[in-house]
Structure 1
Amino acid sequence: MDDDAKSRTRRQILEVAAGILEREGAQAVSTRAVAAAAGIRAASLYQLFGDKDGLLSALAIHAFDLYLSEKHTLAQSGDPVADMRRGWDMHVDFGLRHPAFYLLMYGSDRPGRRPPAAGEAQALVMRFLNRAADDGCLRVPPALAAHLTLAAVTGVTLSLIGASEDERDMEVSARMRDTLIDSLTVDPPPASDATLASRALALDAALDAALTGADGPALPLRPSETALLHDWLHELAR
């Protein structure tokens, strides 16, 4: 089988497996069932994915790719805090529309094993939070805000997925979203009134952008100097 044929077969298997996953759940995604539904020999599936665990890992990557394709359509507005709320709502909506995918993405029983696309999803969250910090809107460093946000939004989404449709209360999501975001953010102060903490967080976000080359040339700082500067800024932001 040449590379093009392998790519087509792989895509066909993933599409069939994704259909079974969304209709019947992960327990129905057996290598035998997927091979039969795709009209291929089980040996071809094993050759491409190894085993059921490999197939489920590939489906998790496929799920994150689908999630990211939707997330990238979320255009940034001039209000980073409003964008945080919209990002939360889009995340929850995706989980409720694709519960089996979501459980595979965030309900894994294999700690520490997330597909690379999960890192890209986290980077998108950090992009919004860095903007909020740069505008003086965050009470805490962006990395901590990202961890708190992901923990809260996945917990809410998994809880809503587990509820029957007639018991599902979307007010839970809205209240948790607003409670969390209100605890992480402040109204951006006028430039002359900015607090030391908000200025430190804004500078920390600007430093991250500069160091990655996202906002002009990278700064000529050694790793030890960068770490020390981050530590100082985080202390000032307390």
Structure 2
Amino acid sequence: MLEAAWGLARTQGLTGWSLRDLAGQVGMRAPSLYVYFDSKDQIYDAMFAQGYTELLATTGSVELSDDPVEAVHQMARTFMNFCVADPARVQLLFWRVIPGFTPSPASYALAEKTLEQTVDLLARAGLSTPEALDLWTAMLTGLVTQQVSNDPDGDRWVRLVDHAVDMLLATERV
């Protein structure tokens, strides 16, 4: 069901599909979905958890350099590539496009885990202030947003990741 929901999100937008659409995709009638999910928000929550599980698996599979600066570059590129690969997933994980949707505490804990890993990685490279983390998240999600919105089939903003990381590191470590 989640794969069908992701498929609909990718073709119709996160909010552009109905439970009836999802039921049709999986060969059910809409009321039968309530056996598995109490609401569409629960489906979104399961998708949110799955997205962060995939992000954790992706970042966890990177063999980080012993050089903290190179490790930050590696993680920035990994994050950017992960996000650009699936705009619907980016919208659910990092943009608030679903009115009234709030992830469950269990699902949000996965998001917090990714943030904790980022805090640790940045601290190794000398970026340990809350402001540095805020700049990091704004910088990367901004680049992702520009790439997904303005050059979805290209690499205009993907190519800027290393330069942006260098600028942040130079500014914050002075």
Q: One fold, TM greater than 0.5? A: yes
Which of 128, 131, 144 aligns to 1:141? It is 128
Identity across aligned pairs (percent)?
Answer: 24
CA RMSD across the alignment: 2.4
Q: How many residues align?
A: 168
Instruction: Verify the 8 A CA contact 2:4 2:25 in the aligned structure 1.
Output: yes
Q: Which residue of 2 aligns with 1:89?
A: 77
Stretches of structure 2 lacking an aligned partner (at least 5 in a row): none
Which of 78, 86, 95 aligns to 1:98? It is 86
Instruction: Tell me, in whole angstroms, the C-alpha distance in 1 between the residues paired with 2:117 and 2:171.
Output: 21
Residue correspondence of structure 1 range 5-154 to structure 2 within 5 A: 13-109=1-97, 113-114=102-103, 115-132=108-125, 138=126, 140-154=127-141
Instruction: Tell me, in whole angstroms, the C-alpha distance in 2 between the residues paired with 1:127 and 1:156.
Output: 22
Q: 1:19-53, CA deviations, whole angstroms, 9 ceiling, x for partnerless residues? A: 22233321333211111111123223234322222
Instruction: Verify the 8 A CA contact 1:129 1:142 in the aligned structure 2.
Output: no
Matched letter for residue 21 of structure 1: A
Residue 27 of structure 1 aligns to a residue in which SS? Answer: coil
Q: TM-score, normalised by structure 1?
A: 0.63
Instruction: Tell me, in whole angstroms, the C-alpha distance in 1 between the residues paired with 2:100 and 2:172.
Output: 27
Instruction: Tell me, in whole angstroms, the C-alpha distance in 2 between the residues paired with 1:164 and 1:72.
Output: 28
Q: How far apart are 1:104 and its partner, in Å?
A: 0.9
Instruction: Tell me, in whole angstroms, the C-alpha distance in 2 between the residues paired with 1:108 and 1:41.
Output: 29
Q: TM-score, normalised by structure 2?
A: 0.83
Structure number with greater CO (CA < 8 Å, separation at least 6) is 2
Instruction: Verify the 8 A CA contact 1:49 1:55 in the aligned structure 2.
Output: yes
Q: 1:159-217, CA deviations, whole angstroms, 9 ceiling, x for partnerless residues? A: 1110134675134434322211222236xxxxxxxxxxxxxxxxxxxxxxxxxxxxxxx
Stretches of structure 1 lacking an aligned partner (at least 5 in a row): 1-12, 133-137, 187-238
